[in-house]
Structure 1
Amino acid sequence: MSRYTGRCACGAVTATIIGEAATVRQCWCRQCQQVAAGSPTTNAIFATDAVALQGALANTTYIAASGNTLTQSFCGKCGTQVMAQSSARPQFRTIRLGFLDAPHDLAPEVAIWTEDAPAWAVIDPALERFPRQPPPPVTKA
């Protein structure tokens, strides 16, 4: 069983994750591009009960292009993006790869919302692609 740790830039928010990522996705939706300064967000999707967070998170909630309610969580002190959660998938937490301590063995497997990617985007041709919202991931044992 894998173990991951993470921390924000200032150290006020930390995490321990025990378990396997269901998948790792690059998301090119417009909301993610806004969060990631024009690039995609890169996210490891873990079972909710695998993720233990410490520290105070700030949140923002909105209706995503998928039609689901999306809650973005970040450190209220330094602004580091920590995770997202979709109302359609409460069994998962979508952890930002940049929040996780390096080194780790996680790398993108899928690119989603590719129809929203800018013309200059470079998407690895080896990644499975979805023009919009993909089906939910399956939890790995």
Structure 2
Amino acid sequence: MTAPYSGRCACGAVTLAISAEPMTTRQCWCRQCQKIAAGGPTHNAIFAAEAVAIEGTLASGGWQAASGNTLTFHFCPACGTQIYGQSSARPHLKTVRFGALDAGHGLEPEVVIWTDDAPAWAQIDPARESWPQQPPAQPPAQPSAAPSTPPSGT
């Protein structure tokens, strides 16, 4: 499937309408993601913030990442469904959880990150690009005729 994407929380109180393709998609094994994903990784699509329209009330929580950035996760306060995460270092991006997207979205992780934090039983696809921790941040794109590389995610 391609944009637009839609989504909702488990109870339907929060809905998403996304008007663009993700900049990248990731599977994250960091310890914080394992905590919010019941011990497994999170699966995320990183979009330009302005492409993500959200209706409904969200609650949020946060923590300081190993990078020193503050990571804030947003969820439905009624059912607890994770909707998206956002880094203080990249407020122009929203990291939308695959589980908040409607079925049939067709996205899959392109990159696996924080593999050093994965438990010994984790199954990490060797065909995917992987990083032991956070990949290095890309510099912000400058206006030019050449295509740009998307910045790092969370």
> After TM superposition, is the score higher than 0.5?
yes
Equivalent AA in structure 2 for residue 113 of structure 1:
W
How far apart are residue 118 of structure 1 and its match? 0.4
Gaps of at least 5 residues in structure 1 are none
How far apart are residue 105 of structure 1 and its match? 1.9
- What per-residue deviation string (whole Å, max 9, x for no partner) do you get for residues 84-116 of structure 1? 000111111000000000101211100000000
The 5-angstrom pairing of residues 123-138 of structure 1 reads 123-136=124-137, 138=150
Partner of 2:118: 117
Aligned-residue Cα RMSD (Å) equals 1.2
Separation (CA, whole Å) in 1 of partners of 2:109 and 2:61: 25
Partner of 2:146: none
Equivalent AA in structure 2 for residue 138 of structure 1:
P
How far apart are residue 72 of structure 1 and its match? 0.5
TM-score, scaled relative to structure 1 = 0.95
Percent of matched pairs sharing the same residue: 63
Separation (CA, whole Å) in 1 of partners of 2:6 and 2:42: 19
Q: Which has the higher contact order (CA 8 A, sep 6+)?
A: 1
Gaps of at least 5 residues in structure 2 are 138-148
- After TM superposition, what 4+ stretches of structure 1 lie above 4 angstroms from structure 2? none
* Structure (1 or 2) with the larger CA radius of gyration: 2
Partner of 2:142: none
TM-score, scaled relative to structure 2 = 0.87
